[in-house]
């Protein structure tokens, strides 16, 4: 049994390494990170290494599972590691998308302020939008359509509404409304965009305050997730050998499954409570 556990642990670690190295950009990353004779490890190589590792962090579950399989002399940690890889990948992608939305929302707020500054400097609305968009770069993939409409006298409000469908770009819909009112009703575009920028900044400030208030709840979630690991460490320090009990006895397996289900349910419940508070 011990030989089988060692063999499967080695295979799992090797499979994780091959899966990470078998990506299409792995060879290019190795070439970019290759040290030069005159500069053993420059800033470009360090940045590329960080980006390469950050894009495959979910595969760190494989060596951790292999280590636990060796220590516990069981194949169950390998199965748990195989299940954890897609779950961790999904969580990392959701967090990355959330950060991208926040970055885009902040860029839209900066775009409104930049357009207001250009308008008050005496530029025409189209020229102000062109100059501000080049300076801020908030529109990303929709930037070409909006800038083309502003440059050639097209439907700028329509292009802004279409761009507002992107994640985190909801503020562009308000910008389109201000632009439409200014064109059709003769109202001041700078004043409307200034009020819109103030509203977006206030919303961002309220969201930051809410997250600060929920920091304690998130700390509770983290503590709940670490308590089983602390318990295993205390049991090992007392000489109880909890890994062998959990992985090699019927009662331990029942406790492991029941504890894992309860831990998952508790984390899901606590996370949903905090998410509901953030959404509110």
64, 4, 72, 66: which is closest to 252 by C-alpha? Answer: 72
pLDDT at 37 over 60: no
Q: What is the DSSP string of 147-162?
A: HHHHHTT--HHHHHHH
pLDDT at 88 over 70: yes
Of residues 23 and 261, more confidently modeled: 261
Single pTM value for the model: 0.67
Lowest mean pLDDT among 85-89, 152-156, 174-178, 203-207: 152-156
The mean per-residue pLDDT over the stretch 1-21 comes to 45
CA distance 152 to 132: 16
Report pLDDT for 3: 42
Q: Supply the mean pLDDT for the chain.
A: 76
CA distance 98 to 132: 25
3-state helix, strand, coil in the chain (%, to 5): 85, 0, 15
pLDDT at 21 over 50: no
156, 148, 163, 147: which is closest to 189 by C-alpha? Answer: 156
177-183 LR contacts (CB < 8 Å, sep 24+): 179/125, 182/125, 183/157
Report pLDDT for 2: 44
- Tokens encoding 200: 């977006």
pLDDT at 44 over 80: no
pLDDT at 40 over 80: no
H helices of 37-122, in order, are 43-54, 61-72, 76-120
pLDDT at 47 over 80: no
DSSP H helix total and E strand total for the chain: 13, 0
23-28 LR contacts (CB < 8 Å, sep 24+): 23/56
pLDDT at 31 over 50: no
The mean per-residue pLDDT over the stretch 88-92 comes to 88
Q: Give the three-state DSSP class for 130.
A: helix
CA distance 193 to 187: 11
pLDDT at 4 over 50: no
The mean per-residue pLDDT over the stretch 184-200 comes to 84
H helices of 22-42, in order, are 26-33
What proportion of the chain, given as a percentage, has pLDDT over 90? 5
Report pLDDT for 195: 92
pLDDT at 66 over 80: yes
Report pLDDT for 46: 53
pLDDT at 110 over 60: yes
CA distance 58 to 91: 9
Q: pLDDT band for position 199 (50/70/90)?
A: very high
């Amino acid at each position: 049994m011990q030989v089988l556990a060692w063999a499967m642990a080695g295979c799992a670690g090797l499979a994780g390494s091959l899966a990470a190295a078998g990506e299409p950009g792995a060879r290019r990353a190795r070439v970019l990170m290759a040290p030069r004779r005159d500069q053993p490890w420059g800033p470009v190589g360090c940045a590329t290494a960080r980006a390469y590792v950050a894009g495959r962090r979910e595969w760190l579950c494989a060596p951790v599972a292999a280590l636990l399989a060796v220590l516990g002399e069981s194949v169950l940690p390998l199965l748990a590691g195989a299940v954890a890889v897609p779950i961790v990948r999904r969580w990392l992608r959701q967090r990355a998308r959330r950060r991208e939305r926040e970055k885009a929302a902040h860029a839209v707020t900066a775009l409104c302020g930049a357009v207001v500054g250009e308008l008050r400097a005496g530029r025409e609305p189209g020229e102000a939008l062109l100059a501000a968009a080049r300076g801020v770069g908030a529109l990303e993939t929709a930037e070409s359509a909006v800038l083309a409409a502003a440059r050639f006298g097209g439907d700028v409000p329509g292009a802004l509404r279409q761009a507002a469908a992107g994640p985190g770009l909801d503020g562009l819909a308000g910008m389109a409304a201000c632009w439409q009112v200014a064109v059709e009703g003769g109202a001041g575009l700078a004043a409307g965009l200034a009020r819109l920028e103030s509203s977006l900044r206030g919303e961002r400030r309220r969201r930051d305050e809410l997250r600060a208030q929920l920091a304690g709840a998130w700390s509770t979630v983290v503590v709940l997730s670490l308590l089983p690991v602390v318990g295993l460490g205390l049991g090992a320090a007392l000489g109880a050998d909890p890994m062998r009990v959990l992985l090699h006895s019927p009662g331990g397996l029942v406790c492991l499954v029941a504890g894992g289900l309860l831990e998952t349910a508790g984390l899901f419940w606590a996370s949903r409570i905090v998410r509901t508070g953030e959404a509110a």
